[in-house]
Structure 1
Amino acid sequence: MLGFLVIVLLTLLLPTILLALSSSGWSHSRRRGAPSAPPGNTGWPVIGETLAFLKPHPSTSIGDFLVQRVSRFGNVFTSNLFGQPTVVSADAQFNRFLLLNELKAFEPGWPRSLIKVLGRYTILALVGDDHKYSRSIIVNFLSGARLQTVFLQGVERASTAILGSWKGKGVVSAIEEARKFTFAVIAKAILSMEAGNTETEKLQREFEMFSKGMLSLPLIFPGTAYWNSLKARSNILNVIRQKKEEKINKMRDGRTDVEDDLLTWTLENSNFTEEQTGDLLLGFLFAGHETTAKVVALAIYFLGGCPKALKQMRVNGTLSTHLCVMAAFWAVHMDPSLFEDPEQFNPWRWKDPSGIKKSNNFMAFGGGSRLCPGAELAKLEFVVFFHHLIMNYQWKLVEPDHPFCRPLVEFNGGLQVKIHALES
């Protein structure tokens, strides 16, 4: 879940922290006397360099957009993305400074097109006390005690259900199965919706439409990905609104069968309006589903080509959480001066500090006040799912299917894997 959308833009998308200039619609203000904007290129009128930014590239690289501009302008440069003047940073020290100095030197800001899809009350867009308050709702809901009881049981059920359905199948799409798993967990956690129900499957389809268009060119006319994303947003909010009304009626009637989920938690522990509640849940749904699904799929991809790691992980039926490492394709994480052979999947690097200059350069879950509030749930999902997967199945890719950023991580062929059930 990675700091809500920070994961997407900073970790699974591209190594950029998007900062607005004072003349833009973004809210990054700078003090008087601050140095001028770094060198760069603003590209074409209106669209700027957005098309180059969105150009697909292997997710184990930083992509041509960054390679070309970093080599020409340096690790911090000026561009124009999504119709907004933007400073792009691929510098480890500067990025860490941004995360740890919110409201001191910079104020977070995001493209208006993205906020229009996520909502003005999404935790991503909030700052100061409003952000702290919304974040506290989620952090308290995902407390350690609840993770060990309520959520562990839910993740366990979802894992065994998905993997149990593989029996008798020769080939499965790992990315689609990962999406089913993470959506089952998050839909249950947020709205108490059960996996396999028609209502849940319909919501998942709406959500996939929502995700595909949220980072596309903001063209608002029928048929475009962005238009479809806005339409899906409306449909998802209608479901949330319906569930909210049902819960309020149960509470009013004094019923004891009110579900224990984030919606109920928000109703009981906040004074949010309907719009605030919808935006909070929608943002959490995105962060808790799409990004975690990508991590699971990427781990299946990389572990499938690393039998040594799988063999070690099957010893005594244990699973090391340190293997949750290569989900972050951020420029800093791909910097060979900080990480040896960064393009290679090497889970053992985290056991050898000599191969890493500074551990605080690895920020897969964000940092500072933007540290992902759902990080522990994401880790729990990953560890439980892979414990059951590794102890019950062997797998290999049907054909090469390297992950690409489009701009979210995708597999052209759906990551088809041939599976074989292990003997008990």
Structure 2
Amino acid sequence: MRARLALLAALVLVAGCSSRERLNPFDLRNPYTRGRPEGFVALADDAQVRLEWQPETGSDLAGFQVYRQLGGIGPFVSITGVLSSLTSSFTDRGLANGVDHAYRLVFVFRSGEGSAPAEAIATPGPLRPWVADFGAGVLARITADGRHVLSRVRGFDSPSGVAVDAATRKVWFTDTGGGSLILYDPSGTSQPLSIYVSGQPGAVVTDSVDHTAWACEPEQGRLFHFNDGGLEASPTIGLIDRPIGIARLPSDRSVVVCERGGNRLRRFASDGTPLWGVPLPAPSRVAVDSSTLELWVTSFDLGRVVRLSAAGVALDSVGGFDGPIGVAVDARRGRIWVADARAGELVALTRGGAVVLRVSGLSEVREVAVDPASGDVWATVPGAKAVVRVTADGTRRWQAGGLSLPDGIALDPGR
């Protein structure tokens, strides 16, 4: 009996030791780390990539070392010496934009390098995608390649609309729950400028000529216009029945507004003077074709997209949608991209209204923006809590997760 108890105790001891060994982060049999450094990500920016990981400690651990491969060709070459075991990041600078950079991070022990590297890929570029994360209360910046969230500006209630001043690279966005229009300068150290307007501001558009922003407030039926000093650029326009979408015409800097409750599309001069209003059932969003100056308007309720002239004359109506919301125009390639939220699809139209592409599997896809340089399409997908990047030919490139309820999206094309 005593022999059997002794044997049982020995087996328990061995099993415990084996379990403890496999919890060792350096152990190849560890089910969580597989012996690799943890939390390794490569965050693409303009001509640089920031690498991040979790620091580690161990009596035999000397630190970490980073290796890089360019364009998927050739060997991985060391780009650092041995970094301290307490190090958690490294920025690789002076890189070629548009080229895939593959990285490996390895443990370095006093006896030599570990055999299991952590791996990540990034493609640097000048693009700065900005997303209003309504659910998390943050303005999120996505990496240039669309793989990850690069940074977050916190402290807001529920951001929804977002737009970029292409001249200054400053970001305007609305905090719907906080009743504010906010200006954020990503290159500065000052706090964001918050302009309290009351109500629930939503859609926003910028004017990069005079550096102002227009914002819709649907609950009280108002349209605001502020400069980057926080002062009114033109008087507030009232008596607009639920304005929920807005776009600017580059020809004269006028703005076009979707007056959903009034079933109208309205146009105002840059000083706020009304120019015209035309009947249009339940308009949702509007986008301007900068080449033709034609307007493309979605109607979620009717499942249609309507094309109008700059004078407000209806030219075409395209059906076959379940519930379209966001719309963006790729003027260089003559494509109109529509976010069909109910169908979970991005749909590409020609200027003539023909469907040329459908990208499905995008749950509740909401807002959309186009990179004019590449033709890539970026869309917020609340159902997946993500932002998706799609190429001009409809190929899904990357998906950045880690968001809560992404709403508005805007692209800063960069230098």
**Which TM-score band applies after superposition, normalised by the shorter structure?**
under 0.3
Normalised by the length of structure 2, the TM-score is 0.26
Higher relative contact order (CA 8 A, sep 6+): 1
